[in-house]
Structure 1
């Protein structure tokens, strides 16, 4: 197997990038380190939720105060509620948890061994741990939320305070603190929000080190240009451009941020769209800002035109035509594509975009099918009118505006496949997805497959984790997974050329987007807001 390439350059990096939005931070003067709990967010948006299964964005990072290097990074299943360094041992106690939205307050007590970076989940049963505090080298005070709020309307205001004693906390194993040891009466307990204090603390710490800190998260799309610039769409930024020198050229801000980048056929502009979610109004109720789909100049960052389809849409573009697919299909099972040309809306009998063929309702699990390097627009459509997630087909929009079904999305008739990223390669399509069963996604249910024009399988590669993005240089297919893995497959037979766990300066990260740039290197947009440049060969 060929060795995996290494990261050559990082754009958009900075201190504490690994933990995303901080929830709290504590220092340990004895070891000269600071522990930070944070959240990178979910990896789904209104137009694509296929990669979020099995994902958690909660992180605990331990950083050196001198230089701010990330020494340890641990994933958490639940939000981080509290942190405490052991007074003598290289050990960090972490309380995590949240309300599940139904009945239960679930979470963990994590004991992170700082010499190895290995975490131990010490509770036998899931409990939300609101607070941790070392009373001595042998005694750990815990405040736990109630099990649930069944018949207890004050559960969210109460907690169980208990002191757990161990002679050697390094020897505490997985699930060794049982419920009997935690059985104490409930009393009033305050849930504290430390996020504002954590943000101030990290900003001050970065300033003291001669650096600047700000939160960047989730690079949803990345593209390279012929002249070596790098374009990206990410949280809070509709689109941005980085020069070959590594300097930020321009950025177009947005309240939510861009989710897709589609190079326009003129070669000097790019289409992008912004997420739009409901927000709570101060006077009550919810409001949603107007949809934003824009074409932006690559040279200047100027917004050249804005489309107003009246609802949030997914971009499906190829050739000289820009196609939008509505995402409000819950109200209408029979939706139509909206078609625009490069110079603005295509005028039909009435002003506005041309209504294209019917494609049915869109949902963020069944129908995402973003195809890179597409010679024509591709969509996934169902054949059962009142159940558009059933019997899905890969379909292409022809030049005359008609929609032609190419082949069934699932090559095994009795299997139900979720959508995923794709790339056109010659006359074939390579696409990723997952087989959904009643129990969810068992091991081996995720795949990357190459399909011939008639839909027959040329090769398939099975994995345990769902793909976030893929692209090809014609010889190799590069696939990123929500586990943090990056794999290169032989485009001809699907064999693995190399496989690596993506890391930046030794700390793991996860690719959310990727693209093979015109100059041949691999661009990777990460969940923590960075853009990585890697050679496609070692």
Structure 2
């Protein structure tokens, strides 16, 4: 039997540009012989102070191979570790990539990746993880490497040293996984300061883009998107509190911010939007990190981008959507002091009910299309992450417990995005496990008003965002997939990999616009407008 479903198809891209796929560049190199460019970069983590559950299994490190003429991305590879160095083979269609990082307490880990540019195949050549600072082809058969020491357990100078070796193979195109053993990497440690290649890479990308008649600039992580009734598109992203794109494709305005917006909530007046900026917990004057300014939650005119109002809660908080009042929930639980909601009308504020502490894994519960605010509240006053309940917030700030967040006895669930549909909630999350996220440990579930499970959909990757129209629940995962679930039954209507011009990406935010199309904010700083076309399957 054939049935018709609807699959999102990218129709327009806002905020695009050359080298968008790799985020902040760390290293770049040109192969003049084959007219190719390789760039290693970082899209950043998919967590912030108000939500971290989608970080499980995520890596934002990317290696992109581009045509020098036109700068089209031909290959895009995910790397487990930060990219340190790149080198094109002098004769073969092969790229050597050195990656790695310090784990923060003991080891230097990484990989030597060999990317076949004709097939896209990727080989991790080292038998054991080692941070590879530098790669350089000495000849067609010899590859020079500089590796970090294995660890700093007994060597306080490990961060200033490297092991220089030359590995020889008759045919590097035939090298298999884990075939470079430790005996080939044995060499005395010598003084070595790892080069910082980011600034040089930025200059190279700027020059290459200009030579092609384009402009290059870094855009990363669109944390929130919203559509308006007249077809405009709002977005919040790194370095930008909020921006507005016109139906023509022009950017009408942007409000900059040192960290960037993380949430957008349409104002009750219909002409403004509330935006919430990231503010990490860095104490001033303690030497514990760079300083940031105070909390910033602002109401912005959709027409002009003018900041109409700025709230001063005193602490950084998350915006809780739903209802006509602005509700803020403080992020960090202060020892010995209960946390309370903050309720704001235009020009005034008051405290609401006590909700306990908030942490970025347990308590995120951003509910789209909600008539009133929802929060996750732990019932154990000594440990707010335990026994969490989905709780409704009344207009007077009082709380009404609805049902336990975890419906399986004995399981502990982390919070995630949600949407209110037909007097029930669809929400996503993950199941806590001591060894990390397990297969099938991520879920999307529909709950009745009494908490009964109407359906559940299990997956291996956590959801970054979800929304729904009358028939379909659209789910974006950190793996780069988009899935359409039947809103009534939870069955999979379609499942697809998100791509832009043939290169994979991942959605960090998602919204169904009033016109019916789907807006997607990507991890690489682009906003996608997707039409939802009919698709027939058996």
Distance in 2, matches of 1:25 and 1:330, equals: 44
> In the TM superposition, what whole-angstrom CA distance separates every residue of 1:87-122 from its partner, at most 9, and x where no partner exists?
110100000001000110000000001011121100
Note the C-alpha offset of 1:280.
Answer: 9.3
Report the equivalent of 1:174: 177
Distance in 1, matches of 2:105 and 2:268, equals: 49
Contact 2:25/2:202 (CA < 8 Å) preserved in 1? Answer: yes
SS at 2:193 equivalent: coil
Q: What is the TM-score when the length of structure 1 is the normalising length?
A: 0.97
Distance in 2, matches of 1:192 and 1:330, equals: 41
Task: Report how many aligned residue pairs link the two structures.
Answer: 530
Q: 2:339 aligns with which of 335, 339, 357?
A: 335
> In the TM superposition, what whole-angstrom CA distance separates every residue of 1:105-149 from its partner, at most 9, and x where no partner exists?
000000001011121100010000000011111111111100000
> In the TM superposition, what whole-angstrom CA distance separates every residue of 1:218-241 from its partner, at most 9, and x where no partner exists?
000000000000000000000000
Q: 2:304 aligns with which of 276, 285, 300?
A: 300
> In the TM superposition, what whole-angstrom CA distance separates every residue of 1:369-426 from its partner, at most 9, and x where no partner exists?
0000011100000011111101100000012321000000000120000000000001
Query: Residues 370-409 of structure 1: matches in 2 within 5 Å?
Result: 370-409=366-405
Q: 1:124 aligns with which of 108, 127, 139?
A: 127
Note the C-alpha offset of 1:333.
Answer: 5.6
Distance in 1, matches of 2:380 and 2:225, equals: 35
Report the equivalent of 1:448: 444
SS at 2:275 equivalent: strand
Contact 1:332/1:361 (CA < 8 Å) preserved in 2? Answer: no
Report the equivalent of 2:205: 202
Gaps of 5+ in 2: none
Distance in 1, matches of 2:433 and 2:140, equals: 48
User: Is 1:290 equivalent to 2:294 in the alignment?
Assistant: yes
Report the equivalent of 2:360: 364
Distance in 2, matches of 1:261 and 1:536, equals: 23
Contact 1:334/1:360 (CA < 8 Å) preserved in 2? Answer: yes
> In the TM superposition, what whole-angstrom CA distance separates every residue of 1:62-104 from its partner, at most 9, and x where no partner exists?
1111000001100001110000000110100000001000110
> In the TM superposition, what whole-angstrom CA distance separates every residue of 1:20-46 from its partner, at most 9, and x where no partner exists?
000111000111001001000001110
Distance in 1, matches of 2:480 and 2:343, equals: 36
Contact 1:333/1:385 (CA < 8 Å) preserved in 2? Answer: no
SS at 2:54 equivalent: coil
Gaps of 5+ in 1: 346-352
Report the equivalent of 1:349: none
Question: Which aligned runs of 4 or more in structure 1 are off by greater than 4 angstroms?
Answer: 278-286
Q: 2:165 aligns with which of 157, 162, 167?
A: 162
Report the equivalent of 1:265: 268
Distance in 1, matches of 2:95 and 2:151, equals: 27
SS at 1:126 equivalent: coil
Report the equivalent of 1:503: 499
Report the equivalent of 1:311: 315
Query: Residues 124-163 of structure 1: matches in 2 within 5 Å?
Result: 124-163=127-166
SS at 1:7 equivalent: strand
User: Is 1:191 equivalent to 2:194 in the alignment?
Assistant: yes
Contact 1:5/1:537 (CA < 8 Å) preserved in 2? Answer: yes
Q: 2:527 aligns with which of 519, 522, 531?
A: 531
Report the equivalent of 1:320: 324
User: Is 1:73 equivalent to 2:69 in the alignment?
Assistant: no
Contact 1:318/1:374 (CA < 8 Å) preserved in 2? Answer: yes
Report the equivalent of 2:474: 478
User: Is 1:247 equivalent to 2:247 in the alignment?
Assistant: no
Q: 2:92 aligns with which of 89, 93, 98?
A: 89
> In the TM superposition, what whole-angstrom CA distance separates every residue of 1:201-255 from its partner, at most 9, and x where no partner exists?
1011101101111000000000000000000000000000000001000000111
Q: For the structure 1 residues 153 and 67, does the alpha-carbon distance in structure 2 shift closer, same or farther, using more than 3 Å as the test?
A: same
Distance in 2, matches of 1:103 and 1:525, equals: 36
Report the equivalent of 1:27: 30
Note the C-alpha offset of 1:362.
Answer: 0.2
Note the C-alpha offset of 1:174.
Answer: 1.0
Contact 1:143/1:162 (CA < 8 Å) preserved in 2? Answer: yes
Note the C-alpha offset of 1:12.
Answer: 0.3
Q: For the structure 1 residues 110 and 199, does the alpha-carbon distance in structure 2 shift closer, same or farther, using more than 3 Å as the test?
A: same
| Greater relative contact order, per chain length (Cα 8 Å cut-off, separation 6+) | 2
Contact 2:321/2:368 (CA < 8 Å) preserved in 1? Answer: no
Q: For the structure 1 residues 35 and 279, does the alpha-carbon distance in structure 2 shift closer, same or farther, using more than 3 Å as the test?
A: farther
Contact 2:9/2:533 (CA < 8 Å) preserved in 1? Answer: no
Q: 1:233 aligns with which of 232, 236, 245?
A: 236
SS at 1:5 equivalent: strand
Note the C-alpha offset of 1:181.
Answer: 1.6
Q: What is the TM-score when the length of structure 2 is the normalising length?
A: 0.97
SS at 1:536 equivalent: strand
SS at 1:162 equivalent: strand
Distance in 1, matches of 2:459 and 2:214, equals: 40
Contact 2:9/2:532 (CA < 8 Å) preserved in 1? Answer: no
Distance in 2, matches of 1:282 and 1:170, equals: 53
Moved more, 183-192 or 128-137: 183-192
Contact 1:333/1:386 (CA < 8 Å) preserved in 2? Answer: no
Q: 1:421 aligns with which of 410, 417, 424?
A: 417
Contact 1:419/1:433 (CA < 8 Å) preserved in 2? Answer: yes
Report the equivalent of 1:112: 115
Q: For the structure 1 residues 3 and 266, does the alpha-carbon distance in structure 2 shift closer, same or farther, using more than 3 Å as the test?
A: closer
